[in-house]
Amino acid sequence: MSTPADLLHPVLLHHIVNSLQWPGLRPLQEAAVEPLLTGEDALLLAPTAGGKTEAAAFPLLSRMAAESWSGTSVLYLCPLKALLNNLQPRLDRYAGWLGRKAALWHGDVTASRRKAILAARPDVLLTTPESLEAMLVSQNVDHRAFFSGLQAVVVDEVHAFAGDDRGWHLLAVLERLTHLIGRPVQRVGLSATVGNPSRLLTWLQGAGAGSRPARVVAPDLPVVASSSTPPGEIELDYVGSLQNAAKVLAALHAGEKRLVFCESRQAVEELGSLLRSKGITTFLSHASLSADERRRSEEAFAEARDCVIVSTSTLELGIDVGDLDRVIQIDTPATVASFLQRLGRTGRRPGSTRNCLFLTRDGDALIEAAALLLLWGRGWVEPVIAPPEPRHIAAQQILALCLQEHRAGDQNWSRWWNGLAPFDRSADPILRHLIDQGYLDSDGGMLFIGPEAERRFGHRHFMSMTAVFTGAPEFTVLVGREELGRVDPALLTEEVKGDRRLLLNGRNWRVTYIDWRRRRCFVEPADGGGKARWSTGAGGWSGLGFELSRAMREVLLGADPPVKLTRRAVDRLAQVREDTSSLVHPGGTVILREHRGGDLRWWTWAGFRANATLAATLTEVVDPIQRFDDRHIRLRENVTPAEWRALIADAGQRLCLPEVNKKALDGLKFSQALPERLALATLAARLADLDGADDVLRESVRFVHT
């Protein structure tokens, strides 16, 4: 009987059998062959290590050979340079079987290597969306010639793009590419589990949605019945501190290879230092370590056995660090999807089981972890939703087009995005602002880069224009001439007694010299006392979503996740439930004054964005200098039950967007290229959760008012 593998190019199939010695393709790889060979757009879904790269590469390489594609015909886009570096040798090997080549192009690739790529175009180019746009605007790249043979684009970890502004930037650049070459390009997304795969695929298709054939391919994903629990050995523990977490890690799983996830770079540094002090072979990985330091850690960890690597989410995606025995989570990841990615790092060997040990440091983290595992046990995963109203990306794209083409017609510029909103004529007010403020010059019906764009973005050949996110300013830390990483400048300006010491890569360093002008800091090894800290940057809002906050209420009301709880976790959970028993009610929300003269708080358990929306809507009863968080909103101290009932009777019909402080615009890159009212409206739309707020207003309220 023939199989889908038989449709692949015979040379490729020969090497799958003989060079890879695979007995056959995995289910996802088989299911992807036919739609990709026929040119359909597709979203390939599988757990971590599910063979998604090969599921996309094998059919596309087969098409490349069968249809005699020439030049750079496949783009392979990733969110991380480290992931590209990891994938390139594998894809180059597969391409080489057919006499083809795969090459890297990103910010760390040398100028000589780029010249070689331009001179002899590789068949597969691995890059990031930012580097792709840098190629489009570069005077050194003949982009029309270079991309003339483009046939397909693979977007790895597509969910990591779609949930933020990098996704809008990716879509906009792909539309400009299709306009440039004058034909549609096949789009293939690779993703782990998401809650809305069909919507994610439609998003990925961009302007081609509805006009091109497309399908979701997901044969490997388990279907979780309401009475069952997803597979995996999960344990939830309460340890009380990072020091105690280090003790547990030092005592457990000796001889095994462990990947420990932390939710901040500071926690990674502190835990790494604690583990090393206990004699544990420890490596670190996070975004503020230099690329060389991260690579050395990841390579050493991949080759070692009895060791630990402590990481932020940088190792959540598909970077290969070898065969793991254990995943340990300090506190709680932000989403169920993130947990699934991390859990999928284990259980790859035959006979092994996926596993994760949660070590929580306080009662809040314990409740949050239990809530996340409650949702996981039900098979629930967050939908991936693009942030609304990306007007600042529209401004960036108009400027980038003028830089790419040197000039653009003031009536037909929007054709470059093939009708994809908000890059269509709905951006006319943004265009007028760009002209009025000098970002663009207009002459004879043509648009050109103006002096204000030169002033703000012209540094280093407009490289800052290709990145759509704003990073907090950091100082580069050097040991001699070797870069170690980057630190928050606050560590270099705060008052200290004696030597100024840093904690970086899990080791202590003494600052010997600071070059303020060039933002560099020189250090030498020290014997202790180092500090680690990084700013989260301006403009972002921390906080939990509606579903996770609601699940926390369920946990406080007695629901237990379908995982093993240690005795410490059971005891601490019981204590937290007792302490918060007055803040939750199974029939709805609670308004409570906790003690005489204390604050009056509405305990909604609705998440940060829903509470921001409710606070903006109910201004008559919300404290004018109120504070809200994921769980509650502070009300005016004299609100009566009758006043409350009268006010909320029609609140669901008049929900308002939250007000945004102008200082928050600092975190929205290119916001200065927008009229201020539009920039603020963009942030307000992103802070709101109208559906969550409406759900809360439909619930009954238990008014406990003394």
Q: How far is Cα 546 from Cα 560, in angstroms, rounded to an integer?
A: 19
Burial of residue 428, with CB atoms counted within 10 A of its CB: 0-12 exposed, 13-18 middle, 19 or more buried: exposed
Within 178-306, strands assigned E span: 186-191, 214-217, 233-238, 257-261, 282-285
The pTM (predicted TM-score) of the whole model is 0.91
pLDDT, position 617: 94
Residue 403 has pLDDT above 50, yes or no: yes
Sheet holding 257-261, edge to edge: 282-285, 307-311, 257-261, 326-330, 355-360, 233-238, 564-565
pLDDT in tens, 581-595: 999 999 999 999 877
* Domains in the chain, CATH or no CATH each: 4-217 (3.40.50.300), 233-377 (3.40.50.300), 391-466 (1.10.10), 475-525 (no CATH), 580-704 (no CATH)
Q: How far is CA 332 from the centre of its chain?
A: 16
Q: What is the pLDDT of residues 176-230, one digit of tens each?
A: 999 999 999 999 999 988 899 999 999 999 999 999 999 999 997 654 444 456 7
Long-range contact set of residues 248-253: C-beta below 8 Å, sequence gap at least 24: 248/359, 249/275, 249/280, 249/308, 249/328, 249/359, 250/275, 250/278, 250/279, 250/280, 252/357, 253/325, 253/326
Alpha carbons 480 and 686: distance in angstroms, whole number: 44
Task: Report how far residue 96's alpha carbon sits from residue 77's, in angstroms, rounded to the nearest whole number.
Answer: 20
The pLDDT tens digits for 524-566 are 999 999 999 987 654 445 689 999 999 999 999 999 999 999 9
Q: Which residues pair with 523 in a beta bridge?
A: 511
pLDDT of residue 465: 77
Residues 341-351, mean pLDDT to the nearest whole number = 82
Closest alpha carbon to 317 in 53, 80, 103, 26: 80
Q: Give pLDDT, residue 539.
A: 44
Query: Cα separation of 341 and 345, whole Å?
Result: 7
Share of the chain above pLDDT 90, in %: 75
Q: What is the radius of gyration, based on Cα positions, of the chain?
A: 27
- Residue 559 in contact with residue 374, Cβ under 8 Å? yes
**Dihedral sign, Cα of residue 465, residue 466, residue 471, residue 473:** negative
Averaged over 145-173, what is the pLDDT?
A: 96
402 vs 551: CA distance, rounded Å: 48
Q: Please give the sequence-ordered ranges of beta strands (E in DSSP) within 278-338, or none if there are none.
A: 282-285, 307-311, 326-330
- ∠131-43-102 over CA atoms, to 5°? 40
